[in-house]
Amino acid sequence: MRHILSILVENEAGALSRISGLFSARGYNIESLTVAPTEDVTMSRMTIVTVGSEDVVEQITKQLNKLVDVVKVVDLTEGNHIERELMLVKVRAAGKDREEMKRLADIFRGRILDVTDKSYTIELTGTGSKLDAFLTAIEPGVILETVRTGASGIGRGERILRV
Amino acid sequence: MQLTGAEIVIRCLQEEGVEYLFGYPGGAVLNIYDELFKQEKVKHVLVRHEQGAVHAADGYSRSSTKVGVCLVTSGPGVTNAVTGIATAYMDSIPMVVLTGQVPTHAIGQDAFQECDTVGITRPCVKHNFLVKDVNDVALTIKKAFYLAATGRPGPVLVDIPKDVTQAKAEWSYPKTVSLRSYNPVTKGHSGQIKKAVQLLLDAKKPMVYAGGGVVLNNAAPQLTRLVRLLGFPCTNTLMGLGGFPGTDPQFTGMLGMHGTFESNMAMQNCDVLLAVGARFDDRVIGNPEHFFRSDRKIIHIDIDPSSISKRVKVDVPIVGYVADVLDEMLKLIETSPQRPDPAALKAWWGEIKEWQRKDCLRYDTKSELIKPQYVIQKLYELTKGDAFITSDVGQHQMWAAQYYKFDKPRRWINSGGLGTMGFGLPAAMGVQLVNPGATVVTVTGEASIQMCIQELSTCKQYHLPIKVINLNNRYMGMVRQWQEFFYGNRYAESYMDALPDFVKLAEAYGHVGIKVDKPGDVDGALAEAFKHKDRLVFVDVITDQTENVFPMVPGGKGLTEMILAEEL
């Protein structure tokens, strides 16, 4: 099953490699990993999307908690949460495709950030599956380049992750 | 008061009460060595290879309750130390490793003797630090000692660039330290403890399985009281030997791959299993699926939550220091009117006694060749069971664990987790230094001893009267045993050809060497060795080449699928 782990870590050099090293050393899966400092610059927040059985995810959580730089770990998928990912995609947009591409971007609430006479660069946010859906909706041949941030997540309602 | 980084390092060690620092100098740590030279409080022990420094600090820690400390230089100093650090990490030994680093401006420039120390050691330390600012040296070292010794202990490394040891900072040493990201749960959950006690009191076929956590947390008295109070059988893991007295009638011997028949059978057939400071590893319970073919309730006490339900699912997990949790359990049991059902317990002991009748540690005593088991038994008798025994890794290690009965914790010093050949002799140096006057014996084999034999020189320099018992079968015995059992007797590269004359070698290092090759001479040779109170004596015992360690649970098999000596 897919799990989204939110992790508060000390903003120390090497904290990221401690975490990624843990995943590779113990054979855990990382689907995506995002990290940036929080409003408190001494701390970073990381979102890791992983896939594994309940037992494996329990071990991952325990192993993460054991790392000295890790302040807190929460499995967002245990409760209601919001998940967003940002994608930038450059597509071929010439001739008759140009109008169609614009329409499709609108349907997915994408924004066109950059335009040349042959291409569009579209910004899309949403859940990972929405971004996947956009990519499958357009013809594979027109995709020139994609870049995705990986998921970021936050708990719904009063659920708060902080120290 | 302004001090240099190097002065601060030494001051910190003094503040921590460090008695011995095991190390090897080099370019990046010269400033630290210069400060070491100017004082007498912290005594330095010069090893002959950095691996030896870490193992010595490790043995020092295992045989006392102190944090072992070592100091090595950058680059090769560090890479040589890695085996020692990984050894300590796998066995959760509290240790602080100080390493020199090239100056901060040279980091990342492929400088001479530069390596990414923090990167290389990251997977085999509890935590590590690179100190880039002299103002952080004292606090970082304080943190290192705190992290090493608390929670689940382990090695902590502090990497200090050379320019940091030259720069100056105001000296002050914090009395205490706390980290917001590090708060191990040390006190067991009282509800869980109650549940566990009830399970124990209701048990019909109980079993206590205690590991290295009991030794590390100094919980042997509590464990012993609990087991005796309840009248339960108790087994120890390789790391836990001495955590419960080896001569106690309730002790069923070590369990696991080379554990006793009765311990393994009892583990499989019990109805309530109390696991204390142990982690159900592959050498202990064999194949977990097979282990779960029998139904039992499992109580698991451990300081590390990630050790719980890692390999086996448990019913009552209790996170906390085992000594504290056992204390709580004892209180509850002592005040409870209930006692385990005596009839059920009697029947259960009857089953265990039946298994004990197999006499699984029996061996041929009429052989014309020296049996290694006999040597260990004799060693046990001669030292009255009161020596510190360090070992290397392989057959001799298993025989020492099986035939030497440890009544006290911290007497059995071996590399259980990583299985590091070469551990025994340098570890014994640390043991001897922290236990001056005690009998310290290294049980080794001709393959293992050659992996760190250079430390014989260190032993000479510091007058360490260790007794080295070399069970010499001219083979990497355990490798040979597996090749015999599982590889059709194809002994690929497991022989030991061109062996040195160990007697001459010992003498060349300035020690006493004795060689024995007849069973009748073993007693005399050992007795003579122990007569040399102030000398290191190397006893080269030429043993039966074909002897195997029994019982044996083959890798991947179930715990009760043991090969016994008689079956071959």
User: Rounded to the nearest 5°, which phi and psi values hold at A25?
Assistant: -65, -35
What residues of B are in contact with residue A161 (Cβ under 8 Å)? none
Contact indicator for A117, A94 with CB cutoff of 8 Å: yes
pLDDT at A95: 87
Average pLDDT, chain A: 95
pLDDT at A46: 97
Contact indicator for B22, B70 with CB cutoff of 8 Å: yes
Catalytic status, residue B268:
no
What residues of B are in contact with residue A58 (Cβ under 8 Å)? 309
B16-71 pLDDT tens trace: 999 999 999 999 999 999 999 999 999 999 999 999 999 999 999 999 999 999 99
Average pLDDT, chain B: 97
Helices marked H in B217-371: 220-230, 261-269, 282-285, 288-291, 322-335, 342-356
pLDDT at B496: 82
Task: Among B145, B181, B183, pick the best mutation site for testing chain A contact (most A Cβ within 10 A).
Answer: B181
pLDDT at B568: 52
Q: Which of B123, B152, B180 is opposite residue A163, by nearest beta carbon?
A: B180
What residues of B are in contact with residue A14 (Cβ under 8 Å)? 118-119, 122, 130
Interface check for A42 against chain B (CB to CB < 8 A): the answer is no
Q: Which of B119, B152, B180 is opposite residue A71, by nearest beta carbon?
A: B180
Interface check for B306 against chain A (CB to CB < 8 A): the answer is yes
The amino acid sitting at B421 is: M
User: Rounded to the nearest 5°, which phi and psi values hold at B543?
Assistant: -105, 170
Q: Residue B416, Cβ neighbours under 10 Å: how many? A: 24
B15, B19, B113, B310: the catalytic one is B113
Return d(Cα B432, Cα B441) in angstroms, integer. Answer: 9
B442: which residues sit within 8 A by CB, 6+ positions away?
A: B389, B390, B391, B392, B424, B425, B427, B428, B449, B466, B467, B468, B469
Interface check for B311 against chain A (CB to CB < 8 A): the answer is no
Taking an 8 Å cut-off on Cβ atoms, the answer to whether B305 and A62 are in contact is: yes
User: Rounded to the nearest 5°, which phi and psi values hold at B452?
Assistant: -140, 35
Residues in chain B predicted with pLDDT less than 70, given as ranges, are 567-568
Instruction: Give the sign of the dihedral formed by CA B333, CA B334, CA B337, CA B338.
Output: positive
First to last CA, chain A: 28
Taking an 8 Å cut-off on Cβ atoms, the answer to whether B123 and A66 are in contact is: no
Q: A71 CA to chain B: closest CA distance, Å?
A: 4
pLDDT at A96: 83
Return d(Cα A52, Cα B536) in angstroms, integer. Answer: 54
pLDDT at B497: 87
As beta bridge partners, residue B71 has: B23, B98
Candidates B441, B253, B422, B438; CA nearest to B352 is B253
Interface check for B300 against chain A (CB to CB < 8 A): the answer is no
Catalytic status, residue B162:
yes
ipTM for the complex?
0.92
Contact indicator for A34, A154 with CB cutoff of 8 Å: no
Q: What is the DSSP string of A94-145?
A: -TTHHHHHHHHHHHTT-EEEEE-SSEEEEEEEE-HHHHHHHHHHS-GGGEEE
Catalytic status, residue B406:
no
What residues of B are in contact with residue A9 (Cβ under 8 Å)? 181
pLDDT at B296: 97
* Cis peptide leading into residue B76 (ω within 30°): no
Q: Show the tokens assigned to B128.
A: 């590590």
Name residue, tokens 């300590």.
B88
Taking an 8 Å cut-off on Cβ atoms, the answer to whether B305 and A65 are in contact is: yes
Taking an 8 Å cut-off on Cβ atoms, the answer to whether B181 and A55 are in contact is: no
Taking an 8 Å cut-off on Cβ atoms, the answer to whether B309 and A55 are in contact is: yes
B207, B478, B552, B562: the catalytic one is B478
Interface check for A34 against chain B (CB to CB < 8 A): the answer is no
pLDDT at B567: 58
Q: Residue B364, Cβ neighbours under 10 Å: how many? A: 12
* Strand B20-23 relative to strand B43-46, pairing: parallel
Interface check for B185 against chain A (CB to CB < 8 A): the answer is no
pLDDT at B367: 93
Sheet with strand B316-319: strands edge to edge: B251-254, B234-236, B206-210, B272-276, B297-302, B316-319
Taking an 8 Å cut-off on Cβ atoms, the answer to whether A21 and B122 are in contact is: yes
Candidates B156, B108, B165, B154; CA nearest to B131 is B165
Listed in order, strand segments (DSSP E) in B303-417 are 316-319, 388-391, 412-413
Q: B304 CA to chain A: closest CA distance, Å?
A: 8
Contact indicator for B23, B70 with CB cutoff of 8 Å: yes
Give Dmax (Cα) for chain A: 57
Q: What stretch of H or E contains B528?
A: helix B522-531
Return d(Cα A23, Cα B505) in angstroms, integer. Answer: 47
Name the residue in chain B with its Cα closest to that of A64.
Answer: B306
Q: What is the DSSP string of A14-47?
A: THHHHHHHHHHHTT---SEEEEEE-SSTTEEEEE
Taking an 8 Å cut-off on Cβ atoms, the answer to whether B304 and A66 are in contact is: yes
Instruction: Give the sign of the dihedral formed by CA B62, CA B63, CA B69, CA B75.
Output: negative
Residues in chain A predicted with pLDDT less than 50, given as ranges, are none
Catalytic status, residue B478:
yes
Find how far residue A75's CA is from the centre of its chain. 15
Catalytic status, residue B331:
no
